[in-house]
A and B are shown apart, each in its own frame.
Chain A
Amino acid sequence: MKVGLFIPCYIDQFYPQVGVATLQLLERHGCSVHFPVDQTCCGQPMANSGFASAGKGCDQNFARLFRDCDHIVAPSGSCVLHIKEHLKDASDPEGSAHIRRHIYELTEFLTDILQIETLGARFPHRVGLHNSCHGQRGLHLSSMSERMLPSFSKPARLLSMVEGLEVVMPVRVDECCGFGGTFSVFEEAVSVRMGRDRIEEHAANDVEYITGVDTSCLMHLEGLLRRQGSPVRTIHIAEILNSVS
């Protein structure tokens, strides 16, 4: 099984440890991982700002690099959802369609494709789980508080396999953190307020870490936490699942 590893641009540049953890996790679970070194961005920042049409170059690059992979995996629900819903390379409609159907967010891939039952990971900490919207409501990584359907959570199930880890949910289990891509700068006041409200609920739970499937949400929360001088830290779920001594 040839697994293409997609490391979104901001993870590549600012959070390489998330990429490393993802790669090691996949390798440890028997995947032959291919990382196309010319990858850049999924195009979401432009598209969510109204300029999907400007993202054609990104689409082309993405389709060219990943069209031959059996599966494509990324440690980001948001970027995966964008590709799944919007990737369209006019010069390669078949390749685009294949990618749209075979791209997975990491915890989704571990759960549904690799069907992981044990991790051998240990992370003896109290951790708050942030449900990132695009992974949750877009990719259905977990049930949603608005819908009257059976409850489940792929990220929480994986975390429950980690030795010593205690997951604590905030009161509002799936409220948005307020990142929202360029929303975070163009609607700065509301964005910051939303982030602070999330942090407050997690902090009230005495968590040491806030984790989630999207580094973008975590980057926003981390920025607020560090500015507040809070002892609470953010960590991507891949790093926890990869905590193997």
Chain B
Amino acid sequence: MKTMTHAAAAEVFNQDAARTRWHDETLWFVRQKRDRAAQTLPEWETLRSWASQIKDHTLSHLDEYLSEFERNALANGVQVHWAADAAEHNRIIHEIISRHGIRRMVKSKSMLTEECGLNEYLHEQGIEVIDTDLGERIVQLRHEHPSHIVLPAIHLKREDVSETFHEHLHTEAGNHDPQYLTEAARLHLRERFVAAELAITGVNFAIAETGGFVVCTNEGNADMGAHAARVHIACMGFEKIIPKAEHLGVFLRLLARSATGQPVTTYNSHFKKSLPGREMHIVIVDNSRSRQLGREDFRNSLKCIRCGACFNTCPVYRRSGGHSYHTAVAGPIGSILTPNLDMRAHADLPFASTLCGSCTNVCPVKIDIHDQLWKWRQVLAAEGHVSWTKRVSMQMAAFVLSRPGLYRLAGRMGRGVLKTMPWLAEHRWNPWSKSRALPEPPAESFRDWYLRNRKS
């Protein structure tokens, strides 16, 4: 099946007006919580500057910090793997699983494994991974993908969850009580945690000076998985590195407040080495990140700490839903990250924005997201990934607008048509006038008025 463009998918999403409103209001609520949390810190803007500078510095010394991290992790007895791309990341994990002959495993939330398509890859090898983040488990049971990097099931209502749980976990039909449903999920997941021999987690921050890493969850599911299983595999994109442990004080404060408006994430779990007799692995993934690092205009998108604040504030995301972005990472940040992975496949995403700039303003690490959306548009047009209708219409517009006489003639004709034959412009095939009236044409342009009133 051909992937729908963002615009087409968003149109489908908007057909259910009540649900679109609910989705918008739900995420706006999270944005407001973020505002209130940020307001409690007089040093908020200073923290953002620090975070931005630490990340800028780290990205420009990435090789050094990654080497330092590897050295320290190895010294801690951790096995470090390097994956050039998604396929290698998946192969490495599969190999570890096979070597141990492991059948039962759990995974806490990791957008990187989504990006790499790990679940699908392992499924093809006959291996099932249980996602243990509640939201991720819900979408996994529904054979969907997360629609948001922090709130994976935010597109679903409790009624939807109730139906899914009734089908898969045999809860009572029609019981929508959140506490009842959560309890059912808890019991279901508890069995999986206890039985798991291997746990996969993501990484929020990898610390070069210690070789340790931090995983942030609100459900404690990363800890339960990692502590119960004899093998722990942590997967990270190489941009997750920070130089020192003391920098966590900046990032952890910003992350929780930006993501959900909490003062701190419930579990910020620090991992350094495995218990005796157990194994800990870290897989460090490139998957086109080094190409993005080489793009001067887009380099600093790698500063992202995956808080999702740009999703929650984006008026387009709130009214089109995460699945409209057809990528692992949706929203404004996804729209500047994913064209790097595949320009043709994601050429529509930088256009799924009004360039309002709210994303840039909420970003805790000061990524100039809306400017990068604009710059991606230029790259995509130059590389031929913009539709010919848009190309031709823009070239025609440029031709007319750079010739004053022609511009005035076209303007006069346009106003004339609107006045005498409005049906030529105002019809249902004109996307403007489907729901909007066209401007009422005035008798004269401003220039005409000016010549009559000021130049005589």
Contacts and interface: CB of A to CB of B under 8 A. Distances in A.
Q: Which of A35, A133, A193 has its CB near the most chain B CB atoms (within 10 A)?
A: A193
A49 B394 contact: yes
A37 interface: yes
A152 interface: no
A37 B451 contact: yes
B394 A45 contact: yes
Contacts of A50: 351, 377-378, 380-382, 386, 390, 394
Interface in B333-386: 351-358, 360-362, 374, 377-378, 380-382, 386
B82 to A, nearest CB: 36
B354 A180 contact: yes
A219 interface: yes
B398 A13 contact: no
B84 interface: no
Nearest to A45: B397
Contacts, number: 222
A179 B354 contact: yes
Contacts of B436: 192, 195, 220, 223-224, 226-227
SS of A interface (majority):
helix
Interface residue range, chain B: 35 or more
Nearest to B359: A146
A133 B354 contact: yes
Given A35-B454, A190-B10, A49 B390 contact: yes
A10 to B, nearest CB: 8
A61 B404 contact: yes
A200 B398 CA distance: 36
Interface residues of A, number: 76
A137 B361 contact: yes
B4 to A, nearest CB: 12
A12 interface: yes
Contacts of A23: 450, 454
Contacts of B296: none
Nearest to B450: A35
Interface of A: 7, 9, 11-20, 23, 35, 37-41, 43, 45-58, 60-61, 133-134, 137-138, 144-149, 172, 174-176, 178-195, 197, 219-220, 222-224, 226-227
5 contacts: A12-B446, A23-B454, A146-B35, A187-B351, A189-B14
